[in-house]
Structure 1
Amino acid sequence: MKTAFVFACVVVAALAASLSEEEKKLQEIHDKCQADPATYVDHELLHNLSANIDNPKVGAHMLCESKAVGLQKPNGELDLNVIKQKISLTVSDKAKVERLVKECAVKKQTPEKTAVNLFMCLDKDGVTYFHEF
């Protein structure tokens, strides 16, 4: 039992060491959202967002992450400047960044649906930076 625990600690430490600072921040945000019962969601639901777009737990979790990373303001409104800046971390083509902001940063019926749609749209275009954990 102790051996398994030590091995798990070594694996976690090795993985943490290999993450960039931004990835570590994203992991912390994800973990914080998962630690709150109001925003906890089964990982399987997150890995198939399109099939779970109307799931309130998925929406709550994605809004939690979106607000924490700055994509949405505390009131749920999109922050286009932050979205553009975050997309630019993984997309160097300025025209593509602008296109993605116009296509993906679209207000939906609720802040939760806005968050889910934003992540799904970006993922569809290969911008998976925001939710790999």
Structure 2
Amino acid sequence: MRTLYFNLLLLCAAVFVKGLTDEQKERIKKFHMECSAESHVNPEMIAKARKGEFTEDPSFMKHLFCFAKKAGLQNDAGEIQVDVLRAKLGAELKDDAATDKLISMCAIQKETPEKTAFDSVKCYYENTPTHISLTS
């Protein structure tokens, strides 16, 4: 499997994972595989997103929303779970002000759950200096 890049969510986007256990990394890989099967996303879109090229393709957006749900960042209705997001970001950033700023910039509800996931992941990617890599 290719290297997977996640920034908070990555989250889908995105998830900050520097301190993740092997078990948590395996769950992330499992989520990715399950969401890929469900969304039928073109692997090239994921490869492009790793490089910062985000395509507003319905299957890619569906993939990101699926991942966000499995990670607990959005509920089934597509609502952003700010407390979960704050806990995950806060654990990584270790700076409450930076965490709150990133959430206020990127965790914005959109017209659809998929658009919310897509825009959030893109925003996190563009506004975080480090992009996390998981190798499988």
- Check the 8 A contact 1:53/1:113 in 2, yes or no: no
Q: 1:106 to 1:132 in 2, by over 3 A?
A: farther
Q: Alpha carbon RMSD of aligned pairs, Å?
A: 2.3
TM-score normalised according to structure 2 size? 0.72
- The Cα of 1:52 is off from its aligned counterpart by 4.2
TM-score normalised according to structure 1 size? 0.73
Q: 1:70 to 1:105 in 2, by over 3 A?
A: same
Deviations, residues 55-84 of structure 1 (Å, cap 9, x unaligned): 101111000001110110111111100111
% identical aligned pairs: 27
Structure showing the higher strand proportion among its residues: 2
Q: Aligned with 1:48: secondary structure? A: helix
Which one of 117, 123, 126 corresponds to residue 129 of structure 2?
126
In structure 2, C-alpha distance between the alignment counterparts of 1:109 and 1:116, rounded to whole Å: 12
Rg: which structure is higher? 1
Q: What amino acid sits opposite 2:129 in the alignment?
A: G
Q: Which residue of 2 aligns with 1:48?
A: 48
Aligned length: 113
Moved over 3 A (4+): 49-53, 126-129
- The yes-or-no answer on 1:105 pairing with 2:111 is no
- Check the 8 A contact 2:41/2:59 in 1, yes or no: yes
Higher relative contact order (Cα pairs below 8 Å, separated by 6+ residues): 2
